[in-house]
Amino acid sequence: MTAVVGVTIIGLGMPAAFAVGGALPHRAPAKPVAKAAAGELVVNGGFEDGAAGWKVNHPATQTLATGKPVASGAAAARLTNSAGANVIVNDAEPTVASTVRGRTYRLTASVRSVGGEVSGRLRVRQVAGNGDVTIFKRPFAATTAGWSDVALTFTTDVAGAELDLNLLGRDVPVGTTLVVDDISMTQTTTPPSSSTTSAAPSSPTSSSSRPTSSPSSPRASVSVSMSTVPSSSTPTQTSSAGPAKCVNNAMGIPPSGQTYLGAAVSGGNTIEARESKLGAAMRVHRTYYSSGQIASATKQATADVKAGRLPWISFKAPSSWAAMATGAGDSWTTQLAKSLATVPGPVWVAVHHEPEKDGNMSEWTAMQRRIAPIIHANSNNVAFTVIYSGWNTFGGDTNTLATKWPGDAHVDVTAIDAYDDFGVKRSGGVGQKHLQIRAYYVKLAQWAKAHGTAWAVAETGQSISSAADQPKWLVNSYHDMQSLGGAALSYFDSNDNSVTDWRLNDSVKFNAFKSILSETAKIC
């Protein structure tokens, strides 16, 4: 091992005696750090002045040194830790001291690893004066094979906030190094847009919004437990009425307090006919496809965006979960991402929703962990979502989010399906209790805040008996989500593959839905 004198490693606060992993750390010059070049907001983003202007969040276990390999210049940042935990390099002072609302920025960095692969996120924290925090982020996978570029384009939605930028490596093993170089942030003149580099999909077949499997309605007696993704330190309280807000975000993920309302529509209805009766467009359109219907899904998603709807699509995988986890579906996932990247707006996608009773959950989780980076690497407009059964996650089953979580670096939106089946006849009798969906929201919001994702409900429904007994259940469910910072509430307007008729054909449910649709968030 080669001895090196005079290199300061942040986190130890003392001269380093040796180079780590055979690389010679770059010695920081004694001269002051130069200001950023014109138009460049990041100071010392190439680490040519050592680690000046940067810090680690947990100096007791994390270290920041500068050295080789490099993407350019003479030095790069080398992040390690002694606990097998996260590593974070953070700007020492806010890169932007006071934001202008509606201003768009582009943040880029180059990453690679030494000793093993590292997944992580490039992030910007928008910290408002009242303490509200919005996190914009983009996942990446750093490998030992060479440098990869990661880019994040985002638009500020408040004035007077600070912008903190950082780069996080997730669960970095002892002995593995995350290497970072060429961090840059500039103001752009255009808002975020979807990727247009992929070829257009082949002529689609007829699309379908019917689910590929029946929704699992939770028991009514339950008591409870990128890329850019907002979260909030304190959920923003919102009024129960007001004009719809326009969400200008590449992935369509709204700030806390702005919540989409929409539906999956089938069972003898079409979304166009339903919207005609409602007198307004759905803000979210849930659709369901087999693995061979990528072209159909892309065609419908394009139509949805043009109609002002956020497309939220579920696919079945082309292979078993175990095979997908080991790469059997990589080419299919790449095709899916590149096709959805041609949609002229944001798209949310899930692969195999409500998985709990369909196989080995560890294999499903490994599949999500495998395909999410492929989706993110081949699109700028596609948010990767995971959709769990609400009852299995927060009800009486033994499943928990922790046991089926693919990892913070992979998930943009965490969602559940949950139904109020009050009065519905099942083999165990007739449902006697209403679903207390707010309790689910509270736990989802807590999880999302801790793990840096948005949260939503991908399917909900109210039985006709429930609507007669609690006519405001749907209105209250939306407003509770809005007040707790949820991103979207999608209603299952169908009776396909179902234990009861969830459709909005019932006048009580229809009127409740219509009364709140105009106030809900919508994509720009």
- 350 and 467: one domain? yes
333 touches 374 (CB < 8 A): yes
Query: Are residues 250 and 107 part of one domain?
Result: no
CA–CA separation, 247 vs 252, rounded Å? Answer: 7
Q: 118-127 and 133-142: which strand pairing?
A: antiparallel
Q: Residue 472 is part of which domain span?
A: 246-523
HEC readout, 28-88: CCCCCCCCCCCCCCCCCCCCCCCCCCEEECCCCCEEEEEECCCCCCCCEEEEEECCCCCEE
Task: Give the residue from 146, 169, 188 where a domain finishes.
Answer: 188
Predicted local distance difference test score (pLDDT) of residue 212: 38
- Domain annotation covers residue 50: yes
* Residues whose CB falls within 8 Å of the CB of residue 269, separated by 6 or more in sequence, listed in order: 493, 494, 503, 505
Give 458's contacts (C-beta < 8 A, 6+ positions apart): 286, 312, 314, 350, 353, 385, 387, 415, 416, 417, 488, 490
9 falls within a domain: no
Does residue 210 form part of some domain?
no
Whole-structure pTM value: 0.64
pLDDT score, position 189: 65
* Residue 220 resides in a domain: no
C-alpha to C-alpha distance for 71 and 53, rounded to whole angstroms: 19
Q: Are both 252 and 184 inside the same structural domain? A: no
Q: Report the pLDDT value the prediction gives residue 39, as an integer from 0 to 100.
A: 84
Q: Is residue 7 part of a domain?
A: no
Question: Hunting for tokens 């002002």 — which residue is that?
Answer: 308
Within this chain, do residues 253 and 167 fall inside the same structural domain, yes or no?
A: no
Are 479 and 472 within 8 A, CB to CB?
Answer: no
What is the chain's pLDDT, residue by residue, as a tens digit (524 residues)? 333 333 333 343 332 222 223 333 333 333 344 445 668 999 999 999 999 999 998 888 889 999 999 999 999 999 998 887 889 999 999 999 999 989 999 999 999 999 988 988 999 989 888 877 788 888 888 988 899 999 998 899 889 999 999 999 988 889 999 999 999 999 986 544 433 333 333 333 333 433 433 333 332 222 222 333 333 322 233 333 445 678 888 899 988 889 999 999 998 899 999 999 999 999 999 999 999 999 999 999 999 999 999 999 999 999 999 999 999 999 999 999 999 999 999 999 999 999 988 999 999 999 999 999 899 888 889 999 999 998 878 766 677 888 899 988 889 999 999 998 888 887 777 877 888 899 999 999 999 988 889 999 999 999 999 999 999 999 999 999 999 999 999 999 998 888 899 999 999 999 999 999 999 999 98
- Between helix 473-484 and helix 507-517 the angle, nearest 10°, is 30
What kind and span of H or E run contains 375?
Answer: helix 361-377
DSSP-assigned letter for residue 258: -
Domain count along the chain: 2
C-alpha to C-alpha distances, 410 to 117, 141, 192, 407, 453, nearest whole angstrom = 14, 10, 20, 6, 10
pLDDT at residue 292 in the model:
97
Residue 505 CB partners (closer than 8 Å, separation 6+): 269
- Nearest alpha-carbon partner for 135 in 88, 171, 177: 88
CATH number at 457 reads: 3.20.20.80
174 and 259 assigned to the same domain: no
Supply the pLDDT for residue 434: 86
Q: What is the pLDDT of residue 427?
A: 72
Same domain as 263, residue 183: no
- Which of 56, 64, 47, 60 is CA-nearest to residue 8? 64
Residues 285 and 421 in one domain: yes
- The reply to whether 230 falls in a domain is no
Q: Domain holding 56: CATH number?
A: 2.60.120.260
Q: Is 397 within the bounds of a domain?
A: yes
Instruction: Determine contact, residues 416/404, Cβ cutoff 8 Å.
Output: no
| DSSP label at residue 212 | S
Across-strand partners of 107?
152, 185
Question: Look-up: residue for tokens 């500039």?
Answer: 186
**Do residue 181 and residue 92 come from a single domain?**
yes
Q: What are phi and psi of 314, to 5 degrees?
A: -110, 135
| Residue finishing a domain among 169, 188, 207 | 188
250 and 140 assigned to the same domain: no
Tokens encoding 279: 């007198």
Residue 204, in any domain of the structure: no
- Quick one: pLDDT at residue 267? 86
Q: Same structural domain for residues 174 and 263?
A: no
Please tell me the predicted confidence (pLDDT) of residue 83: 83
Q: Please, are residues 354 and 394 in contact by the beta-carbon 8 Å criterion? A: no
Same domain flag for 373 and 484 = yes
What pLDDT, in 10s, does the model give residues 333-375?
999 999 999 999 999 999 999 998 899 999 999 999 999 989 9
* The domain boundary residue, chosen from 145, 169, 188: 188
- Return the closest-CA partner of residue 48 out of 57, 59, 39, 37: 37
Give me the pLDDT at residue 38, please: 65
Cis peptide before 69 (omega within 30 of 0): yes
